Amino acid sequence: MCKAIIASTKHLCGDWIDQPAGLIPWDNCGGCGIQKLGPEYLGETTKRTPCPDCIENGKWKQNIDEEIVLKIPRETGSDAFLREIKMFDLFEKFKPCPMIVQSFLRVPEGNFLAFLSGGTLDQRLRANQVRVGHSYRGRVETVTKQEPIELVEQWSMELSYAAAWLENLGYVHGDIRPPNLLLDGDNRLKLIDFDCAAKIGSPSDGSAPPWARILGVEAGEDAGSFGLYGARTEQFAIGSVIYLMTRGYEPYENEDPGLNIVSLFRCMKFPPLGNDPLDRIIDRCWKGQFECLKDLAEEARTLIGDRHPAFLLPPAAQHRLQLQNKCQTLVDQGLFEWEV
């Protein structure tokens, strides 16, 4: 069969980022399937397409699976991919978290995940921005649209609950930022990409601002480092995500591009905030005032009161088993038997 399953995105900076794409099996065409290599710019994805013979003979009808996507490593057996697989193996030992993307089957060649049609939070918010030179990295000039405050409150709660669920397992996500937050068709937020997950208390690898902060003099002997992973590191990233969701741009992103954001954050100099509930949460997150992420999640839960419907639960066990069997069947039929 021809299959469209490859899912990678190449940023203008040259970095390749795994991005789930719809699992699209083609009707049986005699085993062809030409892989087109690329892409050159953000937003395009590579995929396998039917060969000319299949097109000519009408054997290439597309059947899109609306529940499953496949994530493959750039290199089979890569350390990052194996770390993520181990995390999903751990997740299966516990009751699923509705705010964590579900994995149905994992094999050395790939990870079958739940399909989320809403794209990433990064894509959603960038669509509301006008940037200098209309470039990916250009400074934000204008925010053309703000997301509804009720939706921002919901996303804040869902992100906080996902982080708190990981904390309960003794782990942090380690890379909370908009490209790692996916939305489903009902605007429910899910945390994805766990190749940076780490045990609480282990040394933090940090991240670029505004998703991490180099510690200042208040940290004593830890000053100048990112410190240890824990509630402090995760809530700082969450605070910056909420700031982005409420403003439409990252902290200081609409300011002079010459600002030394790393230094400002290190000195605890943050953009001005208001006194509304979301801004109060951002302030506490940036200052590390939530002792544990469960406290942050509970605070975020109060934002929406009774407005939020019941949490969307992951697929029932029986349905999840059906999806797992479907994935295994695709593997058994030679899904990964291609030439690059």
User: Tokens at residue 332, please?
Assistant: 């058994």
pLDDT tens per residue across span 153-168: 999 999 999 999 999 9
pLDDT tens per residue across span 7-23: 333 333 333 333 344 44
So what's the pLDDT on residue 338? 58
Q: Could you give the domains of the chain?
A: 3-115+315-332 (no CATH), 121-301 (1.10.510.10)
pTM for the whole structure: 0.81
Torsion angle (degrees, nearest 10) of CA 128, 132, 138, 142: -30
Distance CA 247, CA 251 (A): 9
Enclosing H/E stretch for 3? strand 3-4
Q: How far is CA 91 from CA 52, 102, 103, 165, in A?
A: 43, 9, 9, 10
CB 221 within 8 A of CB 247: no
So what's the pLDDT on residue 87? 98
So what's the pLDDT on residue 51? 53
The dihedral through the CA atoms of 174, 201, 111, 151 has a sign that is: negative
pLDDT tens per residue across span 109-134: 889 999 888 999 999 999 999 988 77
